[in-house]
Amino acid sequence: MRTLKAIVLLLGIILIFSMLLMVFLDSDNDGISDLKEREYETDPNKPNYLLAYALKKLPEDEALKFKSVENFNESSKGLVDLYSSLSQDKRSSKEVNELLNKILSDNRVDDLEKNLFDDRFVNPTLPSIDNLSWNPTRENLDKIYDINVTFIAKDNKTPIAYAELHFVPVEYYYMIEKYGMRPDDYPKVFPPDKERDLILTPVDGKFDSLEERFSVQIKDIVGGREYRIIVSVKDLAGNERIAEVRTPYIRQYENIGKLLYEKGIIVMSGYEPFKMSGIPRKDDDPLLGRYDTIDDIVLIKHVDWATGYGINVFLLDSQNHWWPEMKDKVFNICEKLLSFNQIKVAWGIGPSKRHFVYGEYGKEIPEWAIDLKIPENNGTFLMLVEELMRLANNENYFKIDGRSVLYIWDEGAFFNQEDTYKAVKELFEYKLYLIADWLPRIPTSPSDEYVRFLLEKYRGNGLRIVDAFTGWIGFHRVGLDTEEYVKNYEYYYDKQLDMWKHFTEEWNKDFVVPLTPGFDNSYSWGGPQIPLPRGIEKFAKRLEIALKYLDARRPMLKIDTWNDWGEWSYIEPTTKEDFSYLEIIKSFLTRYIKS
């Protein structure tokens, strides 16, 4: 009996030991018992270190997702670490499990897959877009037709997987509300251009790298506006980076004015730095609406239009008679015009009751004249010129023979100018070219007794210092006693040009031919008068006459004006006349070049 009890005890011990052995036996020494391996349906004789690692980090049901992974290295361990770092809710999400199942589908985990999971769910990092830029690839006379956009996309974890580019025309609907531009005129001012949406391929033809280079052609750009270049890049994890650059204004028209300038043909037009809401208008409105010239888009649109039809110089009215209120504004406008690098600019300066003493204290000098012998007047003139010409060194400031141009409007109001003009030229080391707007109105001739008197006594010596002569608004005489001259204006205009061109040549000066589309300021700041009629046919006839008198040695035409809406002398596009005046200018100048 005692022996039987010992045998039973021994068998029990053996049984318990066997059971314990079955529970703790780990045949492959991977840290998972054979019993559990059988439960997990894994091979107890084949180590599964990753599963053992996952079981320490995750609940059993989640750890088992990794049971078939064959490699145990930093990549597979890192994936387990990343997965376990997520919240329970996140680990249970569809998107996490879809990507995890995809990664584990081949029973291996590599560094790229680990980084992909990290980049998407744990530590997302956006790709970068570097060196986004563009360059013209087809351009003529400042008009850009095609461009090439380049950039580099980079990511420090997962490969770049997708890129797209949007080339978006900028719209300026604010001009409708702000300036009253008519909606129907908007497409005339800003010609429609389609948005380009492009799916991109890297330069090397495939997405397979942490860094990809892109090069994109944009062709047949309409222009007449700025454009937004918007680039979107995604890495393999779906992280997206968006970058944008904005082009400067791309011209609508080729710069015909530049072509003329290079051929030595100067076509000037007076430019008024007005805020049009405060300027009276007679019977029409600017196509741009009642704009303010301080607006960058207004300025560059004017430059595009003017130079696109042959004008190459703006004579910018300095508004010195409204200084100091207007001073900062006109300098700002001048600096902007110069910065466009598409048109030449010269200052215009003239009489000002704010700054000059008129008459000679009741003596011989007329009350409408300014005697520059008066020290105050001399000093004021020098001060104004010195202030204006600090911008004259700019490469786009208008120069003739290397000398910066200063246009003196209504120069006939200045008497005894010799010493002042000499001082001005000395101030700029004789690198100043003066244009004097003084030639008299129709029908005054060089032989007129009063003209000869003024030249001999008060003005002749000063005029010998200047470099060029011109007149204003095509020599039109303003008043109520001008019916004959207005009715037969083209005849008298031709005659006046002939007389005063010969006079100018006799004085050995350059002749700047003045031209105007029409004139009337009775509705603004002028008195009663007979208007000089506007009209396309009339302007064409006047331009034809004007071109006859251009000096072949130095052809210079001055159109009065680009945008003086207070005097009915504008040629810029309007709501009624559209581009008709500019079209005539371009047509005649094109023929002039050929001839």
The Cα 402–Cα 594 span in angstroms is 27
Q: Give the pLDDT confidence of 473-494 residue by residue, as tens digits.
A: 999 999 999 999 999 999 999 9
**Domains 128-246 and 266-594 belong to one CATH topology:** no
Instruction: Please check whether residue 402 is in contact with residue 429, taking contact to mean a CB–CB distance below 8 angstroms.
Output: no
DSSP letter for 552, please.
Answer: S
Q: Give the 3-state DSSP-derived string for 171-194, with helices as H, strands as E and coil as C.
A: CCCHHHHHHCCCHHHHHHHCCCCC
pLDDT greater than 90 at residue 18 = no
Cα separation, 330 vs 276, whole angstroms: 15
pLDDT computed for residue 211 by the predictor: 98
Tell me the pLDDT of the chain averaged across its residues.
Answer: 95
Give the whole-angstrom CA distance, residue 427 versus residue 176: 47
SS3 content of the chain, % helix, strand, coil (to 5): 40, 20, 40
- Answer whether 539's CB lies under 8 Å from 584's CB: yes
Task: Out of 3.40.640.10, 3.40.50.970, 2.60.40.10, 3.40.50.150, select the CATH number for domain 128-246.
Answer: 2.60.40.10
Say which residue, 5 or 527, is predicted with more confidence.
527
Q: What is the DSSP letter of 439?
A: P
Average pLDDT over residues 307-332: 96
pLDDT of residue 20: 45
CATH code of domain 266-594: 3.20.20.80
The conformation of residue 354, written as its DSSP 8-state character, comes to T
Reference 400, options 241, 485, 319, 512; nearest CA is 512
Residue 343 has pLDDT above 70, yes or no: yes
Q: Is the pLDDT of residue 127 over 90?
A: yes
Per-residue confidence band for 24, with pLDDT thresholds at 50, 70 and 90: low
pLDDT for the residue numbered 66: 96
More confident residue, 2 or 515: 515
Of 104, 154, 97, the closest CA to residue 120 belongs to: 97
Best CA proximity match to 465, nearest among 408, 421, 399, 508 = 421
Question: Which CB contacts under 8 angstroms, 24+ apart, belong to 92-95?
Answer: 95/121
Q: Give the pLDDT band of residue 21 (cuts 50, 70, 90).
A: very low
Which of 298, 319, 340 lies closest to 388 in space, CA to CA?
319
Q: How does pLDDT run across 425-460, given as a tens digit for each residue?
A: 999 989 999 999 999 999 999 999 999 999 999 999
Confidence of residue 361 (pLDDT cuts 50, 70, 90): low
Question: Among the listed ranges 74-78, 225-229, 591-595, which one has the minimum average pLDDT value?
Answer: 591-595
Q: How many angstroms separate the CA atoms of 175 and 259, rounded? A: 31
CA-based nearest residue to 545, from 506, 491, 501:
491
End-to-end CA distance of the chain: 142
* Residue boundaries of the structural domains of the chain: 2-122, 128-246, 266-594
Look at the block and give the residue holding tokens 């504008």.
570
Instruction: Look at residue 131 and tell me whether its pLDDT is greater than 70.
Output: yes
Contact between residue 224 and residue 190 where contact means Cβ atoms under 8 Å apart: yes
User: Quick one: pLDDT at residue 451?
Assistant: 97
Alpha helices in 428-531 (DSSP H): 449-454, 460-463, 483-487, 489-506
